[in-house]
Amino acid sequence: MENLDQFRKETKEWLEENCPPEMRKPMGPGDVVWGGRNCKFPHPDAKLWLERMGEKGWTCPTWPKEYGGGGLSFDENKILQEELMAIRARPALSSFGIWMLGPALLEFASEEQKKKYIPEIVKGEIRWCQGYSEPGSGSDLASLKTKAEDNGDHFVVNGQKVWTSYADDCDMIFTLVRTGPQEPKHDGISFLLIDMDQPGVTTKPIKLISGKSPFCETFFDNAIVPKENLVSELNKGWDVAKRLLQHERNMIAGMGLGGAGSAKKKKDQTISSGMATMAKTYVGEEEGKLANPGLRQKIASFDINSHAFSLTMRRASEESKSSNSGPSPASSMFKYYGSESNKLRYELMLEAMGTKALGWEGEGFGPAELAITREWLRTKANSIEGGTSEVQLNIIAKRVLDLPQ
């Protein structure tokens, strides 16, 4: 306990000294730092902040020190996160390398691979994207057809991936490829790390109903991949893929915790519901109660579920603290509930805002209102990406509840 107090003191001091003032201001949509060879920093302080945090390994606080991580224990990391929150520090780095690839590499990659790729992720030097889905392989991911053929010291990759997030800004893509066309579908897949800076790899953005293009199609046309970029064994990629999906699902589940709806009692004892406060400004109130009783009842149900969900995420983290087991098939439950909850959050916001939430662009709507409309459309993908809600329910039924095939 004494050590933890000491750790808190040192952390507080370090953050005070090293977190630039600009990085303690609320973030706008363009302020996320994704890292990478062509990283765009919204402000010089953002670069400084990433360098300092990356040097300390605190962009990936619990990863082993030997690969550049912070080497912190569960409790130390909790303290770090609390202290970061206390000064409202922005995340120094956001990346799929941190959330998805890194944890899978730590588990499955060779020593050389870990030494090469993990420190790059920690410092934000390489920006990664995910090459999983294909036009013909969505929920049935294991039917994927992009093939990698052995050509001596390297593979030659041909095929197409889809829903590759931010692929047009990324440096590398972790990709599922078919290496054993004669094997049963799960047993002929390998996990390759592919450099996108080559003529054989091209990307094309996909325009979504929200008007934005966070996803791309990625085409492989005789792309060259050195043999040392194979993670785990040949044709054993599905194990890596599944594990990585669990990390992805946990990441998406976290969206269910989003700020707007969960009613929390803060340290200063004021209780508020972001959703209800927002609804009041659009619907009005009568004697302190939200004026529309039907909407009020729906928001209360939402807040209760949201509160219960965030407690459950916390409980799972406390329970896994000692066992250090990482994500499990139960992460499908979090993915299912979190993504459905996030969709409902935006449906309720639309309901509360009425026609004010239905603007597309231009005059007559505030920027925040327009952003909510776009985000509402974006949330429709939450229960599709990373495995649909139906796929999650299948996984729970088979792998958690052990129901018959």
Catalytic residue ranges: 248
Is 299 an interacting residue with respect to other proteins (CB under 8 A)?
A: yes
Contact yes or no for 65/57 (Cβ under 8 A): yes
Q: Which residue has the tokens 């406390």?
A: 318
Q: Which is nearer to other proteins, 74 or 221 (CB)?
A: 74
Q: How far apart are CA 21 and CA 74, in angstroms?
A: 28
Residue 393 interacts with other proteins (CB under 8 A): yes or no: yes
Stretch that binds other proteins, among 175-183, 215-223, 273-281, 372-380 (CB under 8 A): 273-281
Find all residues with CB under 8 Å of 260, minimum gap 6, and list them: 274, 275, 278, 345, 349
Give the nearer residue to other proteins in terms of CB position, either 132 or 302: 302
DSSP 344: H
Contact between 405 and other proteins by CB under 8 A: the answer reads yes
| DSSP-assigned states of every residue in 314-342 | HHHHHHHHHH-----TTHHHHHHHHHHHH
Closest separation in Å from C-beta 243 to other proteins:
21
75 is a site residue for other proteins (CB under 8 A): no
Question: Is residue 212 at the binding interface for other proteins, with CB under 8 A as the rule?
Answer: no
Which one of 17-25, 93-101, 103-111, 266-274 is the stretch in contact with other proteins (CB under 8 A)?
Answer: 266-274
Establish if 400 lies at the interface with other proteins (CB under 8 A).
Answer: yes
Q: What share of the chain is helix, strand, coil (3-state, %, to 5)?
A: 50, 15, 35
The answer to whether residue 311 forms part of the interface with other proteins (CB under 8 A) is: yes
Pick one of 1, 85, 271, 368: the residue that binds other proteins (CB under 8 A). 271
Nearer to other proteins, 46 or 79 (CB): 79
d(CA 298, CA 306): 12
Q: Decide: is 1 part of the binding site for other proteins (CB under 8 A).
A: no
d(CA 359, CA 365): 6
Output DSSP code: residue 41: P
Q: Do 254 and 338 touch, CB atoms closer than 8 A?
A: yes
Is residue 337 a contact residue for other proteins (CB under 8 A)?
yes
Residue 62, both tokens: 């619990």
Q: Which residues bind other proteins (CB under 8 A)?
A: 263, 265, 269, 271-273, 276-277, 279-280, 285, 288-290, 296-297, 299-301, 303-305, 307-309, 311-312, 314-315, 318-319, 330, 333, 336-337, 390, 392-394, 396-398, 400-405
